[in-house]
Amino acid sequence: MPSDATHLPATLPTPDTGSAGPVRVVLVDDHAMMREGIRTILQASGAIDVVGTAANGQEALAVVREQAPDVVCMDVEMPVLDGLEATRRLVADPGVTSRVLVLTTFEREDYLITALEAGASGFLLKNSRPEQLVDAIVAVAAGEALLAPELTMAVIKRAVRAGGTAATTGAAAMTVGAGAPTAGADTGGLGTPAGAGGVVVPLTDRELEVLELLALGLSNEEIAARLFVGRATVKTHVSNVLAKLGLRDRVQAVAYAYRSGLVPLT
């Protein structure tokens, strides 16, 4: 972590994990000092329990299968087996239910795209603030998809401009679901994109508002503050949007918002 991440407050704010106990995490990084620094940050939060560590992707496969953590914090560039391939193998393993949050110092769009293709649930830069890392892990454990805002919008907009489908850039995780239209599809004239068969998807005004704010890069907490509602209410709206549009996660929802014209490309 960068220097500002090493100066921890006496206590970090403890997020609501939504479960009875702390989030169980395995840390994977080939630098011992980085592993220990991140471990210190996470343990200090009170919301996370680091149950194992690994120095490369190959070790990670064994540790994750043994410990069955909620979340794996995975570095990218490591010897023996890199983090992206390790992520791909973990996600493909039917015996593994852990979700993967990729952590890297490299602000590279291709890493983000490959991580999404591999099935990662989150992608965060190591220069993030300690509380951002803690919040990201808790969010991923709760089933949310969380990506570094520094890269997310650039990748999604590039995918949209490239032809309307994320497949043109290889970002399979951004491909919209079965109920979503292709690029240029009719929006039904109501500002609500049309679903399969040209039927207007019945998003409520509030759900449309939430989708627009998602596309602008706001987190659930920020959306809640903007709309003066609780975070749980926002999560419900997001879940409804995903279900109605046939989308997998908020990343696909953002791509959908741009592709459908709900939010203009700038």
pLDDT at site 51: 97
pLDDT at site 154: 65
pLDDT at site 259: 75
Fold equal for 3-147 and 168-259: yes
Strand order in the sheet with 71-74: 48-54, 23-28, 71-74, 99-104, 122-125, 146-147
Angle at 84 between CA 103 and CA 53, to 5 degrees: 55
The two structure tokens encoding residue 219: 């987190």
pLDDT in tens, the chain (266 residues): 433 332 333 333 444 445 568 999 999 999 999 999 999 999 999 999 999 999 999 999 999 999 999 999 999 999 999 999 999 999 999 999 999 999 988 877 778 778 877 888 888 888 888 998 998 999 899 887 777 766 666 666 666 666 543 333 333 333 333 333 333 333 333 234 444 444 345 889 999 999 988 887 777 888 999 999 998 999 899 999 989 988 877 767 877 787 777 777 66
Other beta carbons less than 10 A from residue 263's beta carbon: 17
Give CATH for domain 168-259: 3.40.50.2300
Q: DSSP for 63-126? A: HHHHH--SEEEE-SS-SSS-HHHHHHHHHH-TT---EEEEEES---HHHHHHHHHHT-SEEEET
pLDDT at site 265: 62
Contact of 126 with 148, CB cutoff 8 Å: no
What radius of gyration, in Å, describes the C-alpha atoms of the chain?
Answer: 19
pLDDT at site 122: 85
Q: What's the CA gap between 179 and 183, in Å, rounded?
A: 13
Kindly list the domain boundaries of the chain, sorted by start residue.
Answer: 3-147, 168-259
Q: What's the CA gap between 184 and 23, in Å, rounded?
A: 42
The two structure tokens encoding residue 140: 């991923």
pLDDT at site 206: 94
CATH of 3-147 among 3.60.15.10, 3.40.50.2300, 3.60.150.10, 3.30.750.24: 3.40.50.2300
Q: Output b/e per residue, 235-250; b: 16+ Cβ within 10 A.
A: bebbeebbebbbbebb
